């Protein structure tokens, strides 16, 4: 910038103003500055600007995992609005570990980012790290996986309702003993889905609602093993609602291995945006979340919080509904109908 100023025999102050299109600079010099800037292909040092302005034009997205259709679509949604606003997006992965999430958020306290979008890990049972961030006046918005009981904005989907719908769907298609596979009893979102599921079981007076919730934790292998045990056990279910994508994949894989036929012996529904659902064997019934929209809306909300300093905007809850898309995996079977 000094060079630019020298080149044009102007002061750095003037150049700075010209580049930021200040009204107190003549159009003439603005043009000249712009020209020589691009000629010397000069670009503003973002960190110097950040230092002065105390804003980084950067947001953080904290998620448990990217290799999951829901989250990657959500990132697309987030990115689309960040791009429009000229913001940069830092991605952090907690890999479902609380300790990772903690250290990630502590990084976000340092002024590195102007706001945080977060989907909490399944291990998170304590919100100190989140509250600390909020105390530093960093705008935060939860998307999808919230932490309950905080005064923090969130963009979620109608989990309870969908849980309810998933159970009634299975029951009305003939299941007598449906179960719900959860990934964590501390995850609000999972609990809401499970509660809806249990409520439906209670209403229909089917099975024991409490026994119908099964928590699947651990590595992929451990989960596969748990599911195999479940499906070969004596009280084996005839219907499964998987709370997340990867559980359904395990169910399919295991069923294939041990020759359980879907939907004849076992009906399956999953909460997921899995693109390949219609071409699976058999096509998989999904409760499809508006993943892109959730990301987009959460980002828009965050920017509201970043732009206006009215933090009270921030008890906001936006619920975007999911839809149950019925496919073969949950269909009633001919020979079972009678």
Give contact residues for DNA (rule: CB under 7 A): 1-2, 9-14, 16-17, 19-20, 23-29, 44-45, 48-49, 51-54
Region near its own copies per CB under 8 A, out of 1-9, 72-80, 159-167, 308-316: 72-80
Cα–Cα distances in angstroms (integers) from residue 166 to residues 51, 57, 70, 170, 269, in the given order: 51, 41, 19, 6, 7
- For residue 10, the partner it binds in its own copies, DNA, none, with Cβ less than 5 to 8 A by kind, is DNA
Q: Is-contact 247 179, C-beta < 8 A?
A: no
Instruction: Tell whether residue 75 is a contact of its own copies (CB under 8 A).
Output: yes
Nearer to its own copies, 2 or 205 (CB): 2
Q: Report which DSSP code applies to 261.
A: P
- As measured in angstroms, the least distance from the Cβ of 25 to DNA is 4
| Cα separation values, 7 from 14, 29, 33, 35, 334, Å | 13, 13, 10, 12, 83
Structure token pair of residue 111: 């002024």
Residue with tokens 């496919």: 327
Q: 44 vs 313, which CB is nearer to its own copies? A: 44
For the chain, the maximum distance between any two Cα atoms, rounded to a whole number of angstroms, is: 92
Examine residue 134 and tell whether it contacts its own copies (CB under 8 A).
no
Residue number with CB closer to its own copies (76 or 261): 76
Closest contact distance (angstroms) between CB of 203 and its own copies is 33
> Which residues are registered as beta bridge partners of 59?
89, 115
Minimum distance of DNA from residue 186's CB (angstroms): 35
Query: Does the footprint of its own copies cover residue 12 (CB under 8 A)?
Result: no
Interior CA angle at 72 toward 284 and 119, to 5°?
A: 100
Of the candidates 223, 65, 252, 209, which has an alpha carbon nearest to the alpha carbon of residue 144? Answer: 65
Residue 205, binding choice from DNA, its own copies, none, Cβ under 5 to 8 Å by partner class: none
Instruction: Decide if 134 contacts 140 (C-beta within 8 A).
Output: yes
Q: Residue 146: CA atoms inside 13 Å, Cβ hemisphere, count?
A: 27
- The correct pick among 62, 105, 140, 249 for binding its own copies (CB under 8 A) is 249
Kindly state the helix (H) or strand (E) to which residue 5 belongs, with its residue range: helix 2-8
* Interface of this chain with its own copies, residues 271 to 330, rule: CB under 8 A: 274-276, 278-283
> Contact with its own copies (CB under 8 A): which of 29, 36, 69, 331?
69
User: Residue 215 forms beta bridges with which residues?
Assistant: 182
From the list 13-21, 109-117, 156-164, 196-204, the region that binds its own copies by CB under 8 A is 109-117
The DSSP code for 243 is S
Binding stretches for its own copies (CB under 8 A)? 41, 43-48, 50-51, 56, 58, 66-69, 72-73, 75-76, 79, 83, 88-93, 106-107, 109-112, 132, 249, 252-253, 256, 274-276, 278-283
């Amino acid at each position: 910038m000094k060079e630019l100023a020298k080149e044009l025999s102007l002061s750095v102050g003037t150049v700075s103003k010209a580049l930021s299109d200040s009204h107190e600079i003549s159009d003439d010099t603005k043009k000249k500055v712009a020209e020589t800037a691009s000629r010397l292909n000069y670009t503003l040092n973002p960190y110097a600007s950040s230092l002065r302005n105390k804003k980084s034009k950067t947001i953080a997205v904290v998620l448990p995992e990217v290799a999951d259709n829901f989250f990657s679509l959500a990132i697309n949604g987030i990115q689309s609005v960040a791009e429009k606003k000229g913001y940069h997006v830092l991605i952090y992965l907690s890999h479902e570990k609380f300790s990772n999430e903690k250290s990630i958020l502590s990084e976000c306290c340092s002024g590195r980012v102007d706001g945080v979008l977060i989907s909490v890990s399944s291990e998170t049972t304590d919100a100190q790290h989140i509250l600390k961030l909020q105390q530093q006046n960093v705008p935060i918005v939860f998307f999808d996986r919230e932490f309950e009981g905080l005064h923090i904005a969130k963009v979620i989907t109608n989990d309870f309702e969908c849980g309810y719908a998933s159970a009634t769907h299975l029951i009305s298609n003939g299941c007598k003993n449906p179960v719900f596979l959860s990934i964590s009893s501390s995850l609000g979102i999972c609990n809401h889905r499970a509660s809806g599921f249990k409520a439906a079981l209670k209403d229909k007076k089917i099975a024991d609602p409490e026994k119908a919730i099964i928590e699947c934790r651990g590595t992929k292998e451990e989960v596969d093993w748990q599911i195999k045990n479940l499906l070969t056990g004596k009280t084996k279910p005839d219907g499964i609602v998987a709370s997340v994508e990867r559980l359904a994949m395990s169910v399919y894989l295991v069923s294939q291995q041990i020759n359980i036929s879907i939907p004849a012996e076992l009906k399956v529904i999953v909460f997921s945006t899995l693109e390949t659902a219609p071409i699976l064997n058999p096509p998989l019934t999904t409760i499809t979340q508006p993943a892109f929209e959730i990301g987009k809306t959460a980002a828009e909300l965050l920017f509201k919080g970043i732009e206006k300093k009215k933090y009270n905007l921030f008890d906001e809850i936006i619920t975007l509904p999911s839809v149950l898309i019925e496919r073969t995996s949950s269909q009633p079977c001919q020979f079972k109908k009678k």
